[in-house]
Chain A
């Protein structure tokens, strides 16, 4: 795969009042790969995602997209670049149907009038392209769907737009075993279709099942970006809970990530 990351962040800082949530964070995502973003509660995973998607402004740092510097000020900027986020709390409207949700905010129109047939057809094609066959009718309200089906709709909504980067925030957190397997398979398929996928998860089984690279956040700092095959389950848990594991992670004491993170990040560009 290409050596330039599709999405690259450098030196991202973000504070909420006196609390610094992200500290000099670097992060990259490569096309055709699933990059897992792990970290404990409060490590800053969701904040990082909201910065990428333009919901929160960043205090400092730069965004590179395909090697070009870009600025993202609101969700529309992110969407225009092809960055789509599937949120933990799904961000679907229960009172709208599947098609309406998938096109929300970007409806197809003939002049003033909504072009329902085109939207329905595109939605059907997208779901078929992801080999989704679990929904009965595209015109059923989202309130009538199961958790896995909702997640599927949310993911399908994200890929509908020829998006290039799809970020999934805890997509399996609320799902049962079978539904989790289904969603993970979908995640893998996205990457195999050439998208850069970022998967945020607490579940190490999920992370090791689908990811190619793992990025670990610890108290707002990026402590490691490594290939999944180069690291063990136990090491990741150590990185998440203590911020370091052997040669990886924060160097002891000073809390700076300059030493630990960089060498480990290099192998990430492989594959």
Chain B
């Protein structure tokens, strides 16, 4: 046995060459060529769309419209952020749209009809989401019905529940100042700057700590230039956004002043950071990826697959509830169509456009935010161009199809390059 010593023994690889900026960039490019494109299509799409719309309709580029984009896209983005968890397992939740409607209806009933304070209503709405998610998850994980069917049934049933809660089509207004503020009021400009600064500082601290612990243990670190580039990149994006949102965008300053970061933005940011932390830095998140990548391997590793499957539906429906609250806040009311029509497909589209795979195992919460931005820009820009909603639906449908094709093709490409 020992006589068959192999030639490759001494060569190569123990401590791989210290990465430099160029090797880092080259590595990224080769990964992209190999099919790991991530959110690249969404970022490119966002740039192209914004350029086209700005040229065709100068009003697209105004500060007022920029702020609009955030509030218009918020509900869909929040639902998409929850959907990412479900999509990571290769499952789907078609009921997320109407689940957000049900939760919004609960919110409106509790705060307006029953007259409880806003926090009770919010709690009731989120708990409704958790309950919905538990039921869906149980049906999928314990009984074994495909998620497509379970949530399609949910799609129909929840639509009915919204109607019942709304007593056959009445609409309930939401006047609570706190709830209305979520999607309609802005942070004071100074607070916007402070939060942005805090975020960048926090990010820089995390990056620095990571670099130092890894370097101290003699592990391969990212080159310092890349670390700095990341921090500066984040600072630029946040700084520009806050600067633009802090511009005066009222049509008549004498009547009211309108400036600052919309309150939904920090809300989304906090949930984005939390979601990213859970997926990337906790073993629960690691297990979600594992179950999405190879369910059998996860089971053999001792992971409780059923619990993971149930939990992602709970997260998805709870996020849908938050989306529903934001939608109710933005409309100042809840009607039987809240969470209906295109909301769900926009949300699925947002997640997929952002680079989350429909086949499971690949995706980030950030994808939902980037994809949500693309969807919001299409919706907003085409509205400004005066296209009918018919055209908007067709275009959004085509974009979703494009994103799904990119996903499927990049998988094939990855398979051709040594993956399975």
Q: Which residues of A contact B (CB under 8 A)?
A: 53, 55, 74-76, 79, 85, 87, 89-96, 100, 104-107, 109, 112-114, 117, 120-121, 128, 131, 133-137, 139, 141, 143-146, 178, 181-182, 184-185, 188, 209-210
Q: Which residues of B, 290-310, contact A by the 8 Å Cβ criterion?
A: 290, 292-294, 296-303
A208 to chain B, nearest CB (A): 10
Instruction: Report the bound CA distance from A131 to B9 in whole Å.
Output: 8
List the A side residues contacting B303 at CB < 8 Å: 104-105
Q: Which residue of A lies closest to B296 (CB)?
A: A91
- Count of residues in B whose CB is under 8 Å from the partner chain: 43
B89 to chain A, nearest CB (A): 12
B298 contacts A185, CB within 8 Å?
A: no
A91 contacts B297, CB within 8 Å?
A: yes
Known A114-B283, A117-B217, A178-B6; judge A92-B1 contact (CB<8 A): no
Apart from A75-B299, A91-B296, list 17 A-B contacts with CB within 8 A. Answer: A87-B300, A91-B297, A92-B294, A93-B290, A94-B420, A96-B290, A104-B298, A105-B290, A117-B214, A121-B217, A128-B14, A133-B9, A133-B10, A134-B12, A143-B420, A144-B417, A185-B1
Instruction: Tell which of A95, A112, A182 touches B6, judged by Cβ atoms closer than 8 Å.
Output: A182
Q: Convert B195-214 into 0s and 1s, putting 1 for each residue whose CB lies closer than 8 angstroms to a CB of A.
A: 00000000000000000011
A181 contacts B6, CB within 8 Å?
A: yes
Q: Which residues of B, 189-236, contact A by the 8 Å Cβ criterion?
A: 213-214, 217, 219-220
List the A side residues contacting B298 at CB < 8 Å: 93, 104-105
Q: Which residues of B, 329-357, contact A by the 8 Å Cβ criterion?
A: none
Q: Convert B1-36 into 0s and 1s, putting 1 for each residue whose CB lies closer than 8 angstroms to a CB of A.
A: 110101011111110100000000000000000100
A114 contacts B301, CB within 8 Å?
A: no
Q: Which residue of B lies closest to A76 (CB)?
A: B302
B220 contacts A114, CB within 8 Å?
A: no
List the B side residues contacting A139 at CB < 8 Å: 220
Instruction: Tell which of A55, A75, A134, A145 touches B13, judged by Cβ atoms closer than 8 Å.
Output: A134
| Most interface-central of B290, B292, B362, B420 (chain A CB within 10 A) | B290
Q: Convert B136-173 into 0s and 1s, putting 1 for each residue whose CB lies closer than 8 angstroms to a CB of A.
A: 00000000000000000000000000000000000000
- The 5 A-B pairs with the shortest beta carbon distances in the complex, nearest first, are A105-B301, A143-B419, A93-B293, A95-B293, A95-B361
A33 to chain B, nearest CB (A): 14
Q: Convert B257-297 into 0s and 1s, putting 1 for each residue whose CB lies closer than 8 angstroms to a CB of A.
A: 00000000000000000000000011100110110111011
A178 to chain B, nearest CB (A): 7
Instruction: Report the bound CA distance from A104 to B288 in whole Å.
Output: 11
Instruction: Report the bound CA distance from A254 to B2 in whole Å.
Output: 43
B12 contacts A105, CB within 8 Å?
A: no
- 21 pairs from A and B in contact (CB 8 Å cutoff): A75-B299, A87-B300, A93-B289, A93-B297, A93-B298, A94-B293, A94-B420, A95-B294, A96-B293, A104-B301, A105-B290, A105-B303, A106-B301, A106-B302, A114-B281, A117-B214, A133-B8, A136-B12, A141-B419, A144-B419, A185-B2
List the B side residues contacting A76 at CB < 8 Å: 302
Instruction: Report the bound CA distance from A178 to B13 in whole Å.
Output: 19
List the A side residues contacting B217 at CB < 8 Å: 117, 121
A75 contacts B297, CB within 8 Å?
A: no
List the B side residues contacting A114 at CB < 8 Å: 281-283, 286
B418 contacts A107, CB within 8 Å?
A: no
A107 contacts B286, CB within 8 Å?
A: yes
List the A side residues contacting B290 at CB < 8 Å: 93, 96, 100, 104-105
List the A side residues contacting B294 at CB < 8 Å: 91-95
Q: Which residue of B lies closest to A34 (CB)?
A: B1
Instruction: Report the bound CA distance from A117 to B300 in whole Å.
Output: 25
List the A side residues contacting B286 at CB < 8 Å: 96, 100, 104, 107, 114
List the B side residues contacting A128 at CB < 8 Å: 14
Q: Convert B393-420 into 0s and 1s, putting 1 for each residue whose CB lies closer than 8 angstroms to a CB of A.
A: 0000000000000000000001001111
B292 contacts A95, CB within 8 Å?
A: yes
A105 contacts B302, CB within 8 Å?
A: yes
Q: Which residue of A lies closest to B417 (CB)?
A: A144
A75 to chain B, nearest CB (A): 5
Q: Which residue of A lies closest to B292 (CB)?
A: A95
List the B side residues contacting A100 at CB < 8 Å: 286, 289-290
Instruction: Report the bound CA distance from A96 to B303 in whole Å.
Output: 15
Q: Which residue of B lies closest to A100 (CB)?
A: B286
B289 contacts A95, CB within 8 Å?
A: yes
Instruction: Tell which of A96, A120, A184, A185 touches B219, judged by Cβ atoms closer than 8 Å.
Output: A120
Instruction: Tell which of A92, A113, A141 touches B282, judged by Cβ atoms closer than 8 Å.
Output: A113
Instruction: Tell which of A55, A89, A107 touches B283, judged by Cβ atoms closer than 8 Å.
Output: A107
A99 to chain B, nearest CB (A): 10
List the B side residues contacting A210 at CB < 8 Å: 1
A113 contacts B1, CB within 8 Å?
A: no
B307 to chain A, nearest CB (A): 13
List the B side residues contacting A93 at CB < 8 Å: 289-290, 293-294, 297-298, 361
B356 to chain A, nearest CB (A): 12
Instruction: Report the bound CA distance from A136 to B361 in whole Å.
Output: 23
B289 contacts A133, CB within 8 Å?
A: no
B281 contacts A133, CB within 8 Å?
A: no
Instruction: Report the bound CA distance from A236 to B219 in whole Å.
Output: 49
Instruction: Report the bound CA distance from A109 to B285 in whole Å.
Output: 13
List the A side residues contacting B293 at CB < 8 Å: 93-96
A105 contacts B14, CB within 8 Å?
A: no
List the B side residues contacting A75 at CB < 8 Å: 299-302
List the B side residues contacting A104 at CB < 8 Å: 286-287, 290, 297-298, 301, 303
Instruction: Tell which of A74, A95, A135, A188 touches B1, judged by Cβ atoms closer than 8 Å.
Output: A188
B418 contacts A144, CB within 8 Å?
A: yes
B419 contacts A181, CB within 8 Å?
A: no
A199 to chain B, nearest CB (A): 12
Known A55-B300, A117-B217, A133-B9; judge A185-B289 contact (CB<8 A): no
